[in-house]
Structure 1
């Protein structure tokens, strides 16, 4: 790299370190950074790969990401950029890693969705590696910086480590909310209306609402989202005129509406798939749900519990967060 380019790169990195314009609240179409993992749990000497993704990017020119992991469970092997430019090798200190990247020269920033980098780990022990995205400092081509922080103050996530990363990422971006300032209530059932709200917000689905189900009032906080889902054919109700928004949603119904929403959002699924034989309780899946569940299973969006899909169980808030997070990373 020529001296002039190197100077520019170091200047950008310095800007990332010292510049901070915090991002406050949720706005429709906000940028969201997420992690997708080849596995949640590590095994000794086995590879575990993590991808840093940017969703709804608006001119990303450079970034600095801070990622944490359990150093007793995994060790870093290498990190590589998926974008063309200068990638700063990871700096690691006791389970906290910082990676940085910048484009070089007069280049347009990244738009839309993009895989930004991959990080390879090797297992040291069996267990949850607790790999989490702590923050991303993003710069646009004018070197304006925005900080995206993904830590939350929820203090009731013990026992739901399998969903912590997803809950924290979605809560910090405003897509999902806690039940109070410090609680998320991950084990509580999620209603039909609340899951529809999550889908519509997360996938940025828009259409003019010109009607709704008879049991959804204009004063209801979910009126717009349910109306959007009804018009797009995502929410079809329990009858021609009723949606029963306050009922808890079953796991199979959650997955059916998720599959419909993905197609509306242009995230195509393999409609030829219809095999659920990997799940020992597949016979309990309703006929209308078999196709969508098979499609989501093939994509890894639903993975089941010890070989069970539990289609008729009510979905809980932690499960909803994981499903929405996986949809965003499809």
Structure 2
């Protein structure tokens, strides 16, 4: 369908193909009104309900709402009317919903629920969703546009993970969780000692730096087009932040090592600043296990340590080949964002 045709035009076109009764249904004497309400958040999601009162013969509609895309993400939209719905259109901060009944039947009348929207809450803090307008069409194609201007406040409770009590990375993890940069393994557990895959760290960097998704081809045969990490790997690769284990293999499910993480951090700084802004020429490693650091990682580790973004596991050992933990990855990311003045 030509994208210049609006959803509402589509509904009117569809309805025009149906048999039209000879007698038009009169609108109720009492003016219709619309209400938007919000349930309590559950498992990081919140459901909003769109209701109508004193409605007369609602056969199809187009509803427009606005929201804060930095804090909310539309997960699902459903109509309570029978018939079929057009896929919701989300453009910037605006949502367009459209639905129509089918067949030669009366529209809905009275007080009833029109539909629901479920949002994923991406960050802590308050935001709002506003129902701007409602175009209503009855079974005879009579159209009326209502200015709704009904809004609800949406507040996400502060994320707290029960397995972080007393943990050294608790503050950093909860800060990034509140901004939607890191997520728990479930609603209540972060699992700070768990490992991080190369794909997961690419996703972490992409979210933290808000890297743009693009259609650039990547050379990695092990990154499937339908994998959850395809977009984040593509974005991080295009930004020059990640490289493959070989020219054609990224190893997305391999746990990332501490030296790999340090090198990616320096590349992220280069992407944002144009350079890491530090002179590493002639600098010597101060770790007792510096000989176990891969040659390609030495400069990245040295620079990230000098910038205070990553530390050794102990005062004199970096342990470059060890797998990075989720707590380490979160802390490194928080320090990176602080160094770049992005927090």
- TM-score normalized by the length of structure 2: 0.52
Matched residue, 1:283: 291
| Whole-angstrom CA distance in 2 between matches of 1:294 and 1:148 | 42
Given that residues 175 and 202 in structure 1 are in contact (C-alpha distance below 8 angstroms), is that contact kept between their aligned partners in structure 2? yes
Residues 1:153 and 2:154 aligned together: no
Whole-angstrom CA distance in 2 between matches of 1:285 and 1:29: 39
Give the superposition deviation at 1:278.
2.5
Change (3 A) 1:150 1:196: farther
Unaligned runs of 5+ in 2: 1-40, 47-66, 72-123, 128-152
**C-alpha distance in structure 2 between counterparts of 1:152 and 1:294, whole Å:** 34
Partner of 1:187: 193
- Asked if 1:317 corresponds to 2:326, the answer is yes
Which structure is richer in relative contact order (CA contacts within 8 A, separation 6 or more)? Answer: 1
Asked whether 1:209 is paired with 2:209, we answer: no
Q: Which residue of 251, 261, 266 corresponds with 1:259? A: 266
What do the CA deviations read for 1:279-317 (whole angstroms, capped 9, x no partner)?
Answer: 222221111111111111111001223222111100010
Structure 2: distance between partners of 1:150 and 1:163: 20
TM-superposed deviation, 1:223: 0.8
| Aligned-partner Cα distance in 2 for 1:309–1:263 | 23
Aligned length: 200
In 2 relative to 1, CA 309–270 (structure 1 residues): closer, same or farther, beyond 3 Å?
Answer: farther
**Change in CA separation of 1:152 and 1:233 when aligned onto 2, cut-off 3 Å:** same
CA-CA distance at 1:233 after TM superposition: 2.1
Residue 207 and residue 224 in structure 1: after superposition, are their counterparts in 2 closer, same or farther (change >3 A)?
closer
Separation (CA, whole Å) in 2 of partners of 1:24 and 1:246: 28
TM-score, reference length from structure 1:
0.54
User: Is 2:182–2:330's contact at 8 Å kept on the other side of the alignment?
Assistant: yes
CA–CA separation in structure 2 for the residues paired with 1:228 and 1:150: 30
* Structure with max Cα Rg: 2
Alpha carbons 2:290, 2:318 under 8 Å: kept: yes
Q: CA RMSD in A?
A: 3.2
Does the CA contact (< 8 Å) of 1:276 and 1:290 recur in 2? no
* Secondary structure of 1:198 counterpart: helix
Aligned to 1:273, which of 275, 280, 285?
280
Q: Is the 8 A contact 2:199 2:229 kept in 1?
A: yes
Q: Out of 308, 320, 343, which is 1:300 matched to?
A: 308
Distance 2:258 2:68 in 1: 29
How far, CA to CA, are the matches of 2:274 and 2:211 in structure 1?
Answer: 12
Unpaired segments of 5 or more residues in structure 1?
1-21, 31-134, 139-145
Q: Are the aligned partners of 1:251 and 1:310 in contact in 2 as well (CA < 8 Å)?
A: yes
Q: Which of 228, 240, 248 is residue 221 of structure 1 equivalent to?
A: 228
1:167-206: per-residue Cα shift (whole Å, max 9, x none)? 1011111111100111011101100000010001101122
Q: Is the 8 A contact 1:28 1:201 kept in 2?
A: no
Could you tell me how far 1:218 is from its partner in structure 2? Answer: 2.1
Tell me which of 160, 171, 193 is aligned to 2:177: 171
Aligned pairs for 1:1-330 within 5 A: 151-158=158-165, 161-206=167-212, 208-212=214-218, 213-266=220-273, 268-273=275-280, 275-307=283-315, 308-330=317-339
Residues 149 and 172, structure 1, Cα contact 8 Å, conserved in 2? no
